[in-house]
A and B are shown apart, each in its own frame.
Chain A
Amino acid sequence: MNIVVCIKQVPDTTDVRIDPKTNTLIREGVQSIINPFDMYAIEEAIRLKERFGGMATVITMGPPQAADALREAISMGIDEAIHLSDRAFAGSDTWATSLILAKAIEKMGSVDLVICGKQATDGDTAQVGPGIAAHLDLPQATYVRRVDSVHMDTVPRIMVVERLLEEGYEIMELQLPALITVVKEVNEPRLPSLKGKMKARKAEIPVWGNKDLQIPEHQVGLKGSPTQVVKIFTPPQKEGGKVFTGEPEQTVAGLVAEIKDIL
């Protein structure tokens, strides 16, 4: 089974703070990590590969430091990585990003399954996974919480998954090749192994730019992005409210007096 995992390197939200003087995000010393949801995607790819044989490749679109994320994925057990990086890609919104990833997957050839994390914790849009599926015209299942079964020997080859919905879960059958986005419930990601880390250290990761993908210039970067960010601002900070201390009888009475009108 040939699996591709699309990951993104994001800032570690725990570290994100606002500078009170400039009202902007402080990014000094903020760590970059693999988007938490992508960890579940990586783990699921490794598990499926262990079950069905084949290969798992991880790809990411990002600046040079994104290669660290790729190596981390390899240290967990992914076989190979491809880094998509080109100044022309900068400024891409989800439309252009999903196109770039889709073209890379196309170039890789004979992919059975694409796995993405549900969403990235910086953009939070959850659009890239379905976007890739649309560009490649693949059937998609989002919010997958479990892969029930995969049948590689039937014609057509199919996969049965459970999708987590608001009030329960749905069971769906997809034909391969397909794309799924996964949620936290799907698995527990493993920690990197020593052998994995050694492999990651030595791994050669090819970098593909637009000369390799040949996407028309007007479809990548800012030019290819239907959406534009025109302003970034910090939301008005909550001041911190009324805190009651003391004996429970008093504190509860105090609180209830304040909120009884909204109950």
Chain B
Amino acid sequence: MLTYGLTEEQEMIKEVARKIAEEKIRPFSAQWDEHDEHPASAVEAMAQSDLFGVCIPEAYGGMGGGLMDLCIATEEIARVDGGVSTVYAASFLGLLPILIDGTEEQKKKYLTRLASGKSLAAFGLTEPEAGSDAANVQLTAVKDGDYYILNGVKHFISNGGVADIYTIVAQTNKSKGARGISMFIVEKDHPGFTFGKKEDKLGIRASQTRELIFQDCRVHKDQLIGGKEGRGFMTVMKTFDHSRPGVAAQAVGVAQGAYELAVAYAHERKQFNQAISSFQGIQWMLADMAMKTEAARSLLYSVARMVDRGESGVSPYSAMAKCYCSDVAMEVTTNAVQIFGGYGYIKEYPIEKFMRDAKIYQIYEGTNQIQRTIVALQLIKEFSK
């Protein structure tokens, strides 16, 4: 592989994540996929190895690393199972609002639990009528003395039902539009908060996706992230700046895992008295897969490092990373299936799962169409006078 000058600590994270992926995830990957099962044992192994604390500050029991460290861990897990990496990345997505905008008490209360991996988080933004149009959330949070009453529905929520801590995007003041949106922390089993149906998905099936239902759910104002109304939209945008590279990391991992399997297969499979890897057509396919994966990774790492340096203006670049890496993953996994030929279409072989898993990365956390729009608008702003 191309080397990226990782620090010793980053190499360690990579090693630990890979070991868990190979020993605790790979043997069960097919089973979790087939049965739509939450990978509890993998989550426990990851928690025990401190992977959930990778980018949480040391003050809250984490390792104090940055987005780059998170991406390295995420990629190693995705290389073996895109569904399990979604569980990992989605928990991170869920805690980002607290990390970005939480009060000190909120950070202390929740980040420590999340760093230990004893609890998972989930991010509740998407609604049936508010997908790409994120500002159009209909879930309301009406103030009532020291409380807010939440009413509404979220759907397609990753880690829904398995997470203990949910960060929910709600409308606190309709008249203010985007400035009338706030975020709340609601815990599982809180009165008025229940789960709806579990989605039966094409891919990333180890990740549980559920509806969240809020019916007169009373939460204390201490649960309002940042302690002030109207900060929600900015928090969501900043959250995505950090979480989109995480999606990109998953995509790069899935692409990497797929093309490793494809190369190994091409070497073993013999037709016309030779390994198919000796055919130029296959060789060129493999070369393209490798090149695109490295290019995707390079873009991702550059963006992650930019975020870690604390620079402003990262949004279009996070968008680029997410969009490009997920497109690469789709292409690489599809070609990997192609290289496996007929066997690539059969569930007994692991490759078809990679293709099914890859598709989601082009869709969630902002469809690639939205990502492109973000990039384009930024270009126009920057380069037109």
Contacts and interface: CB of A to CB of B under 8 A. Distances in A.
The reply to whether chain A is a binding partner of chain B is yes
Interface of A: 190-198, 201
A220 B54 CA distance: 47
B16 interface: yes
A195 B19 CA distance: 15
B8 A193 contact: no
Interface in B64-99: none
Interface in B1-52: 8-9, 12-13, 15-16, 19-20, 23-24, 45, 48-51
A190 B19 CA distance: 11
Contacts of A194: 12-13, 16, 49-51, 53-54, 63
Given A192-B49, A194-B49, A198-B12, 8 more contacts: A193-B16, A193-B49, A193-B50, A194-B13, A194-B51, A194-B63, A195-B50, A195-B63
Contact of B19 (A191, A198, A201): A191
A184 B20 CA distance: 20
Nearest to A200: B12
Which of A190, A191, A198 has most B Cβ within 10 Å? A191
A50 to B, nearest CB: 12
28 contacts: A190-B45, A190-B48, A191-B16, A191-B19, A191-B20, A191-B23, A191-B24, A191-B49, A192-B16, A192-B19, A192-B49, A193-B48, A193-B49, A194-B12, A194-B13, A194-B16, A194-B49, A194-B50, A194-B51, A194-B53, A194-B54, A195-B50, A195-B63, A197-B12, A197-B16, A198-B9, A198-B12, A201-B12
Which of B8, B9, B50 has most A Cβ within 10 Å? B50
Contacts of B19: 191-192
Contacts of A190: 45, 48
Contacts of A191: 16, 19-20, 23-24, 45, 48-49
Which of A193, A194, A195, A201 has most B Cβ within 10 Å? A194
The 6 closest A-B pairs by CB, nearest first: A194-B50, A193-B49, A193-B50, A197-B12, A195-B50, A191-B49
B27 to A, nearest CB: 13
Contact of A201 (B8, B49, B50): B8
Nearest to A190: B48
Contacts of A193: 16, 48-50
Nearest to B69: A194
Nearest to B8: A201
Nearest to B17: A194
A197 B12 CA distance: 7
Interface residues of B, number: 18
A15 to B, nearest CB: 16
Contacts of B8: 201
Contacts of B20: 191
Nearest to B9: A198
Interface in B114-169: none
Contacts of B48: 190-191, 193
A192 B51 CA distance: 11
Contacts of A198: 9, 12
B163 to A, nearest CB: 22
A191 B20 CA distance: 7
Nearest to A197: B12
B384 to A, nearest CB: 46
Nearest to B20: A191
A196 B48 CA distance: 10
A197 B14 CA distance: 12
A198 B58 CA distance: 14
Nearest to B49: A193
A172 B119 CA distance: 40
Nearest to B53: A194
A67 B9 CA distance: 20
Contacts of A196: 50
Contacts of A192: 16, 19, 49
A191 B50 CA distance: 10
A250 B15 CA distance: 49
Nearest to B23: A191
A215 B23 CA distance: 42
Nearest to A194: B50
A63 to B, nearest CB: 23
A74 to B, nearest CB: 13
Contacts of B12: 194, 197-198, 201
A198 to B, nearest CB: 7
Nearest to B65: A194
Nearest to A195: B50
A110 B45 CA distance: 34
Nearest to B48: A190
Interface in B97-112: none
Nearest to B13: A194
Nearest to B47: A193
A172 B45 CA distance: 33
Contacts of B45: 190-191
A194 B13 CA distance: 7
A104 to B, nearest CB: 29
B350 to A, nearest CB: 21
Contacts of B23: 191
A22 to B, nearest CB: 28
A170 B125 CA distance: 58
Contacts of B53: 194
